[in-house]
């Protein structure tokens, strides 16, 4: 990992840079996928599954029988763990239910707003090097609580042209309506456009690689919303001399193993701690299975020292990490002053991986600095807000002059008249 001490302000943008990709190649590939999905529908999805996933698909849709029997295909310990995670995630998202109240803004003028579910939602569950069944819980649980009418799940098949049974079991728990064994940008195109097997949805959720991220951005052209541009995983840890270097190293490695384009950052308020953490990383990496991925992502990553806590938090806010771990004695300063982050983990005993699986918070979070303008997935992500108002006769008389004066000033005579004609009758 690259080490830097008290970096100058002019060097910050370079240090914050995420792994770069050939955007022209990504754009060209995804544009071609959308074009073919629009023309050829399911046939193109089968073709792309063979090309990218090396599988011959006979059926895109996973049968209800296979979903219902999925719990028999996972070991009891995993099933129990999924059930516990389900309950914790459900509790946390259930607590986000909004309770509306009417406000009398002026005498006789009542306004309120209510939440309504997005009817059709699409969930993208990454497969590839690891079947992320935990993402099913993170996305489908709030969709279920919100009351979404149709929940469609797409995920890339394994070498046997099947989805991992844990993905299917989580889909069963969350009452997903359709499970489709198609992944990559082609599944995003299918949910954006609609095919015989894949319904068109109103909003697409879920993380993915750069191709999936670009495809989600392109889906907006097909009147399909997205949760956020969520790309490769990233983690930033802030620590002082009181932190445990072994814990820090383990957290950095846990995110580095997601893939070669992941990025992890360590900011230390103690200069000796930088070298201690580096040593712990080198010690721990030897026993990990995904060493190849980790070594590539570590090359995108940095160890930094700041002797000024204000500069440290300024850097963190500009970087806007997806995951942010605070491991300092004076944690309140860094909690109170964080503005841009997807999810925050506090203290020695709050590893990021607990949030990934079972604490209850959502792990679908903004990456690549998008925490400056996006929130992570939550219950509201699956809801629309509709405003209501009801005005009495006295209420209209009370507010009529205000509206008539403003409409007249804007030169909108019909707007003014819609009020005046009623006032005249009153």
Has 404 been annotated as catalytic? no
195 shares a domain with 50: yes
Residue that finishes a domain, picked among 181, 198, 230? 230
329 shares a domain with 240: yes
Burial (CB count within 10 angstroms: exposed 0-12, middle 13-18, buried 19+), residue 53: buried
163 shares a domain with 41: yes
**104 falls within a domain:** yes
State the pLDDT at residue 300: 82
**369 falls within a domain:** no
Ramachandran assignment for 223, one of left (phi > 0), alpha (psi -120 to 50 degrees), beta (any other): left
249 shares a domain with 171: no
Q: Collapsing DSSP states into helix, strand and coil, what is residue 205?
A: strand
> Residues near 28 by Cβ (< 8 Å), separated by ≥ 6?
none
Give the residues across from 370 on adjacent strands. none
Instruction: Indicate if the pLDDT at residue 239 is higher than 80.
Output: yes
State the pLDDT at residue 241: 96
39 shares a domain with 90: yes
- Please report where in the chains the tokens 């309506």 appear, as a residue: 177
Which of the residue ranges 22-31, 56-65, 186-195, 221-230 would you say has the lowest mean pLDDT?
22-31
User: Using CA of residue 103, residue 104, residue 106, residue 108, what is the dihedral sign?
Assistant: positive
Has 410 been annotated as catalytic? no
State the pLDDT at residue 131: 83
State the pLDDT at residue 57: 92
Q: What is the mean pLDDT of residues 314-331?
A: 97
Residue that finishes a domain, picked among 192, 207, 230? 230
225: containing domain: 23-230
Q: What is the mean pLDDT of residues 153-164?
A: 93
Q: Which of 234, 257, 322, 352 is catalytic?
A: 322
State the pLDDT at residue 129: 62
Dihedral pair phi/psi, residue 9, rounded to 5°: -55, -40
Sheet holding 2-5, edge to edge: 2-5, 302-305, 263-268, 234-239, 323-327, 343-346
105 shares a domain with 225: yes
Instruction: Indicate if the pLDDT at residue 230 is higher than 80.
Output: no
d(CA 4, CA 245): 18
262 shares a domain with 225: no
**135 falls within a domain:** yes
**169 falls within a domain:** yes
State the pLDDT at residue 261: 82
Q: What is the mean pLDDT of residues 379-385?
A: 98
Pair of tokens at residue 80: 């129990």
For position 100, which CATH number holds?
A: 3.40.50.1980
- Domain total in the chain: 3
**289 falls within a domain:** yes
State the pLDDT at residue 24: 83
297 shares a domain with 202: no
**216 falls within a domain:** yes
Q: Collapsing DSSP states into helix, strand and coil, what is residue 220?
A: helix
**By the 8 A CB rule, do 387 and 111 touch?**
yes
Element (H, E) at 314: helix 309-319
d(CA 426, CA 293): 74
Count CB-CB contacts under 10 A for residue 299.
13
pLDDT tens, position by position, 98-152:
999 999 999 999 999 999 999 999 999 998 667 899 999 999 999 999 999 999 9
d(CA 245, CA 250): 9
145 shares a domain with 45: yes
The number of angstroms, rounded, from the C-alpha of 424 to the middle of its chain's C-alpha atoms is 53
292 shares a domain with 143: no
**374 falls within a domain:** no
**63 falls within a domain:** yes
State the pLDDT at residue 294: 87
d(CA 279, CA 418): 74
Instruction: Indicate if the pLDDT at residue 283 is higher than 70.
Output: yes
Q: What is the mean pLDDT of residues 274-278?
A: 96
pLDDT tens, position by position, 25-79:
899 999 999 999 999 999 999 999 999 999 999 899 999 999 999 999 999 999 9
> Quick check: pTM over 0.85?
yes
For the chain, the average pLDDT equals: 95
Going by C-alpha positions, the residue among 67, 211, 66, 196 that lies closest to residue 126 is 211
178 shares a domain with 36: yes
State the pLDDT at residue 299: 84
> Residues near 402 by Cβ (< 8 Å), separated by ≥ 6?
none
8 shares a domain with 106: no
Residue that finishes a domain, picked among 316, 337, 360? 360
Q: Which of 258, 323, 352, 363 is catalytic?
A: 323
């Amino acid at each position: 990992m690259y080490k830097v001490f008290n970096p100058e302000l002019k060097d910050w943008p370079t240090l914050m840079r995420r792994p770069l990709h050939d955007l022209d190649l990504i754009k060209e590939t995804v544009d071609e996928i959308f074009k073919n999905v629009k023309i050829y529908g399911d046939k193109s999805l089968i073709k792309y599954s063979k090309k990218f996933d090396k599988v011959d698909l006979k059926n895109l849709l996973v049968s209800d029988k296979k979903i219902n029997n999925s719990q028999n295909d996972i070991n009891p310990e995993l099933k129990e763990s999924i059930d516990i995670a389900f309950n914790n995630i459900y509790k946390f998202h259930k607590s986000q239910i909004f309770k509306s109240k009417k406000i009398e803004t002026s005498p006789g003028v009542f306004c309120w707003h209510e939440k309504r579910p997005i009817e059709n939602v699409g969930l993208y569950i990454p497969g590839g090097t690891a079947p992320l069944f935990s993402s099913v819980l993170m996305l489908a649980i709030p969709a279920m609580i919100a009351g979404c009418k149709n929940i469609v799940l797409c995920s890339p098949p394994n070498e046997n042209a099947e989805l991992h049974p844990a993905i299917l079991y989580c889909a069963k728990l969350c009452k997903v309506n359709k499970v489709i064994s198609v992944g990559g940008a082609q599944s995003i195109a299918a949910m954006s456009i609609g095919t015989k097997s894949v319904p068109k949805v109103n909003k697409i959720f879920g993380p993915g690689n750069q191709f999936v991220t670009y495809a989600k951005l392109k889906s907006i052209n097909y009147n399909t919303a997205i949760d956020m541009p969520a790309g490769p995983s990233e983690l930033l840890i802030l620590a002082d001399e009181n932190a445990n270097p072994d814990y820090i190293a383990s957290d950095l490695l846990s995110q580095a193993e997601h893939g070669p384009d992941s990025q992890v950052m360590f900011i230390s308020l103690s200069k000796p701690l930088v070298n201690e953490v580096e040593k712990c990383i080198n010690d721990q990496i030897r026993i990990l299975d995904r060493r190849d991925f980790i070594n590539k992502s570590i090359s995108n990553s940095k160890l930094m020292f700041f002797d000024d806590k204000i500069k440290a938090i300024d850097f963190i806010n500009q970087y806007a990490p997806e995951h942010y771990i605070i491991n300092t004695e004076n944690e309140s300063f860094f909690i109170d002053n964080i503005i841009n982050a997807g999810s925050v983990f506090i203290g020695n005993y709050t590893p990021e991986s607990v949030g990934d699986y079972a604490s209850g918070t959502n792990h679908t979070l903004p990456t690549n600095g998008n925490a400056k303008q996006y929130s992570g997935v939550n219950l509201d992500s699956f809801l629309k807000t509709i405003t209501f108002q009801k005005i009495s006769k006295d209420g209209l008389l009370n507010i009529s002059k205000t509206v008539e004066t403003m409409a007249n000033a804007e030169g909108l005579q019909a707007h003014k008249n819609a009020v005046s004609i009623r006032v005249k009758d009153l």
